[in-house]
Amino acid sequence: MSEDFNLPVGPFHPLLEEAEYFKITLDGEKVKEIEMETGWMHRAIEKLSESNTFDQTIFLVERICGICSASHPFACVNALEDIGNVEIPLRARYIRSLIGEMERIHSHLLWLGLAGHFIGYDTLWMWAWKYREPILEVIELITGNRNHYGVFRIGGVRKDYDISLNTRVNEVMDMLEKKLSMVAKAAMDDPVLKSRLCGVGILTKEDAINYCATGPTARASGVAIDVRKDEPYAAYDLLDFDIIVREEGDVFAKTVVRILEMLESIKMVRQIIERLRKISGPIYNDVAEIPAGEGIGRHEAPRGEVFHYIRSDGSNRPIRHKIRAPSYVNIPTYEVSCPGMNLSDVMITLASVDPCYCCTERSVKLFDSKGTEIAQNLLELSQRKTDRLIDELGESELWKLL
């Protein structure tokens, strides 16, 4: 009988971008127990929200998480519209869904890359993130920012979709579909990857239900829940898509669910931009005030169900704003999915629920030293500088200088 060994992981660990602390109790190589300490990212958003007006709150909740930065405002406006029974115009509904789906694609690609990184498959990381870049570019074309879109408002959206972007969006979607099936084939048929992921970190259906898991974590364990189908909001009742469900519950199933979901999202984006061509009209309804009352809003974020509960007393501020991010219910499933595994499999199991421990401005102009605005691509500038130095000094001199 070997002695138990406590292994601390974090708060700063090379594999975690975010600070998080895990206490893993080991018996030899086998994990006996895992305990997690949170609070490193606590920013008191629920309290801050009480001192902000409803319009400001939407911008605040956008900054809960930088990866799913459309999810929280989405759920927040849904909650506010639930209080006031606000109807939103059709065009705004489609634009909201468009942003939501774009975000799902980039978030799942991000996860795919990080998952590859966690198991030491850095090629997958570089691939996935390379193909994520055009998506961010398209999002920037549509909303004006790579992340933190700022398009949601009570009663509609702030920014209209420009139909002339359709060509570019279609181009990117075509490229992505092709590349994604390539990545999917390379990743899903790889025997090494399969033996690394299959049967690892199994979350049974009973546990998924008992821990109230949501999103891909639940769907990979055979629990077919998806807010987009269960309680359709925005334009999801008008779109044609499927819920991806897998029964196995292991890390591989979660990977498959996410890859197939991306393809569903691509399908939805194509439908939306095609229909936006024909739908005209306003993009928001003016909402004069939010009446007293309580409202629940939710949104199927890339990681699961985002839940917002807002209580209003008729003034312009919420008196209570409860936020429940999807990772909050998905992370405790570690308690059942990790014990019994080898230590080397823990990291990928932790990553498999796509934990966002944080869920838990842009108009900066760049000026050079003379005060003229640098609006060009800075990459280009840096390359030009290198070229200039080569011209002035010659390449061999430049290397000496460096």
Please give the residues from 213 up to 242 whose contact with another protein meets the rule CB under 8 A. 213-214, 225, 230-232
Sheet holding 293-301, edge to edge: 293-301, 304-312, 318-324
| Residue 51 binds another protein (CB under 8 A) | yes
Smaller CB distance to another protein: residue 121 or 307?
307
Smaller CB distance to another protein: residue 16 or 283?
16
Interactions with another protein, residue window 302-341 (CB under 8 A): 305, 307, 309, 311, 319-320, 322, 324, 328-329, 331-332, 335
Task: Using the Cα atoms of residue 66, residue 72, residue 74 and residue 80 in order, give the sign of their dihedral.
Answer: negative
| Residue 74 binds another protein (CB under 8 A) | no
Interactions with another protein, residue window 98-137 (CB under 8 A): 110, 113, 125-126, 129-130, 133
Tell me how far, at minimum, the Cβ of 185 lies from another protein, in Å.
Answer: 20
Buried b (16+ CB within 10 A) or exposed e, 319-351: eebebbbbbbbbbebbebbbbebebebbbbbbb
Smaller CB distance to another protein: residue 78 or 273?
78
Nearest to 104 by CA among 68, 65, 75, 51: 68
Runs of H (alpha helix) within 189-250: 191-197, 205-210, 215-219, 227-230
| Residue 177 binds another protein (CB under 8 A) | no
Smaller CB distance to another protein: residue 14 or 371?
14
Q: Are 332 and 56 in contact (CB under 8 A)?
A: no
Tell me how far, at minimum, the Cβ of 194 lies from another protein, in Å.
Answer: 25
Distance CA 215, CA 326 (A): 8
| Residue 198 binds another protein (CB under 8 A) | no
DSSP string for 357-402? TTT----PPPB-TTS-B--S-HHHHHHHHHHHHHHHH-HHHHHHH-
The one segment of 91-99, 247-255, 267-275, 379-387 that binds another protein by CB under 8 A: 379-387
Q: Binding residue for another protein (CB under 8 A) from 2, 3, 47, 286?
A: 47
Q: Binding residue for another protein (CB under 8 A) from 4, 46, 171, 174?
A: 46
Structure tokens at 262: 């991306």
| Residue 147 binds another protein (CB under 8 A) | yes
Residues 6 or more apart from 168 whose CB is under 8 A from it?
Answer: 138, 141
Q: Binding residue for another protein (CB under 8 A) from 73, 76, 82, 187?
A: 82
Q: Binding residue for another protein (CB under 8 A) from 96, 148, 258, 299?
A: 148
Interactions with another protein, residue window 338-377 (CB under 8 A): 356-358, 361-362, 364, 366, 374, 377
Residues 6 or more apart from 232 whose CB is under 8 A from it?
Answer: none
Interactions with another protein, residue window 6-45 (CB under 8 A): 11-12, 14, 17-19, 37-45
Distance CA 305, CA 329 (A): 9
Q: Specify the DSSP class assigned to residue 35.
A: E
DSSP string for 130-145? HHHHHHHHHHHHHHSS
Count of residues interacting with another protein (CB under 8 A): 79
Tell me how far, at minimum, the Cβ of 267 lies from another protein, in Å.
Answer: 23
